Amino acid sequence: MKTMKPFSLSLNGRIVEYDCTAVMGIINATTDSFYAASRVEGADIASRAISMIENGADMLDIGAYSSRPGAADVPEAVEREQLCKAVRIVRKAVGTDVPISVDTFRASVAEAAIDAGADIINDISGGDLDCRMFETVARLRVPYILMHMRGTPATMQQLTQYNNVVTDVIGELSRKIYRLEEAGVADIIVDPGFGFAKTLEQNYALMAGLNLFNDILGKPVLVGVSRKSMLTRLLGINADDALTPTAVLGALAVERGAAILRVHDPLEAAQSIRIIQALKNATPCSTSE
């Protein structure tokens, strides 16, 4: 069983340490997310955030731009307004101790959201869709989630040609880590990008080789597989029915060293992590003849 390496994040001048897998709850401040039950607006954002923390989320990730294939484009000004509003609502609801991540690939939106009270930038494009992102993250001195994707959400599924998906994705992330560190970014979290420019088979190859990401890149690994098509297509179900498969695959990710699970349902993720921790701490009984 792979043991997650403890990690720490610098959040607004304080160091937060994690010695077991953290749960990141997803809040979609949009009407276009692939999982309808995750969409939330207005005053409901605060109650959703509180509920997630009460159910085991260690941090929250807020987005206002759906990255699902075929989603409508959101103008930059609209994304900025919706995301910053949601960040302010959540920050007021959960207080200052809960880390808030913002899911955006636009540097100006990310900076505005940090000013509104967010702590972490989560960029699905790994800097590819906005050349100013790496410089912005370095200047703001905030943790950065570097996800692997090719192309855009509209074109990514035509860009799945790899020699070896595990080593190729690690290589592409490694080159970006070098650029980020050269720019002065200290806290980098890597995300293999399950479902982004990956076939069904490639997604499972990534999961099988997940331990290599931490071993080779030396960074905390975030896994986001919650209710995704790698589950629904494999099992012939829809996202509404994918809670149990999500918990199972999340547990397997934890066993392979995942540092953060990004999920729609924090309770089941937190329970899975507790079970795995208990198993790791257990001492097998010895037998004698």
Catalytically active residues are 228, 262
Residue 151 near residue 157 (C-beta atoms within 8 A): no
Q: How does DSSP assign 141-175, residue by residue? A: T--EEEE---S-TTTGGG----SSHHHHHHHHHHH
As a whole number of angstroms, the distance between CA 20 and CA 3 comes to: 9
Kindly tell me the number of DSSP H helices and DSSP E strands found in the chain. Answer: 10, 10
Please name which of 59, 114, 113, 65 lies closest in space to residue 261, comparing C-alpha atoms: 59
SS3 103: strand
Q: Which residues contact 121 (CB under 8 A, 6 or more apart)?
A: 101, 102, 104, 110, 113, 114, 133, 136, 137, 140, 142, 143, 144, 145
Length in residues, the chain: 289
Structure tokens given for 130: 């906005």
Write the CA distances from 257 to 3, 9, 45, 171, integer angstroms: 6, 17, 31, 19
Residue 59 near residue 24 (C-beta atoms within 8 A): yes
The runs of H, that is alpha helices, within the chain are 44-54, 76-94, 107-115, 133-140, 165-183, 200-208, 210-217, 229-235, 243-255, 266-281
